[in-house]
Amino acid sequence: MDLLTQTIKNIGPLDKAAMEKAKARQDQLTKPAGSLGRLEALSIQIAGIQGKASPEIKNKAMITMAGDHGVVDEKVGNWPREVTAQMVDNFLNGGAGINVLARQAGARIVFVDTGVASDLKPDKQLIVRKIDYATKNMCKGPAMTEPQAVKAIEAGIEIVDAEFKKGLDIVGTGDMGIGNTTASSAIFAAFSGKNVEETTGRGTGLSDEQLKHKIDVIKRALAVNKPDPSKPIEVLAKVGGYEIGGLAGVILGAAARKIPVIIDGFISGAAAIVATRLAPQAKDYIIAAHVSAEAGHAAMLEYLGPNPLLDLEMRLGEGTGAALGIMVAEAAVRTLNEMATFAEAGVSEGE
């Protein structure tokens, strides 16, 4: 059995017994019932994911995947393709937003080259799983072949498996790739049937005229490729990206290993749609860190299902929102485990 099929097969339901025990403890903690709001529900969800009434978040990892996009040839943004490789160098030098927030979260960072258009300098922090040197221009045909799409997903699964062996309690997803909001908008439109105008935002800060052009490019790509929403691999292959496929694999691999996965913004959301179309059960393992300021992300999360933890008007990507989400998840678990119950504290319960 191939890795993708086996991984999907290994994704089961959440552990209801663990969730019931976690809920029972939440109800006995020294606070009015429900007074910690979303933190309470989050701790119970993580208990169900991990299958532990007292879940743990000690070993944390951010997986940030990079890839270039052939659709950049259509002038859909303000940044040249070379910025992808330059930003990965910045990641490796510790100078990007994701480096700062992952350090604060106490999470190790795994940087992955799934399809950067150039060869990156070797670095012990960088995993090279290059499927190709950028995707093809999706306005002229499929962005990649279906075997390449599967290879990208399986790369993500394999990276989670490797991190699991090091110890892994929670994982966050991040991305880097000039042109990837265009691919993500196309994926969302293909699966949801929404108008491209509803699924497309300004990315790195487009003018009204540039946004109109970007929408036209996505419409052309969808018309040329006619992706079938009932076939997730086909959609990814025709209008997706290598880093998007890789992140879909991270989500599937984490779910199969009973690891909560904190997704970042718009690009991670597109990856999550691909993952949950392949394995609907994976939806229960996904926690949305935040709602991005990128137009279409709120609609994407509504379509996908998870209610975002934060709304900080962020739209950087890289996994920055996911790093913050890991901090919130850790806070939820620690309050469940470390707060005293009324009996333990000798405090009288309210009526």
Q: Reply yes or no on whether 318 is catalytic.
A: yes
CA distance 229 to 234: 8
SS3 350: coil
SS3 124: coil
For the CA atoms of 324, 15, 50, 112, the dihedral, rounded to the nearest 10 degrees, stands at -70
Token couple for 322: 């996911």
Listed residue (174, 162, 157) closest to 244, CA to CA = 174
CA distance 20 to 16: 6
C-beta separation of 252 from 278 below 8 A: yes
C-beta separation of 293 from 308 below 8 A: no
Query: What separation in angstroms does the CA of 306 have from each of 4, 60, 160, 203, 209?
Result: 24, 21, 22, 22, 33
Q: Residue 106 CA to chain centroid, in angstroms?
A: 18
Q: Which residues have a Cβ under 8 Å from the Cβ of 297 and sit 6 or more positions away?
A: 201, 265, 266, 269, 291
C-beta separation of 294 from 311 below 8 A: no
Q: Which residues have a Cβ under 8 Å from the Cβ of 5 and sit 6 or more positions away?
A: none
* From 154, 294, 318, 330, the catalytic residue: 318
Residues known to be catalytic: 318
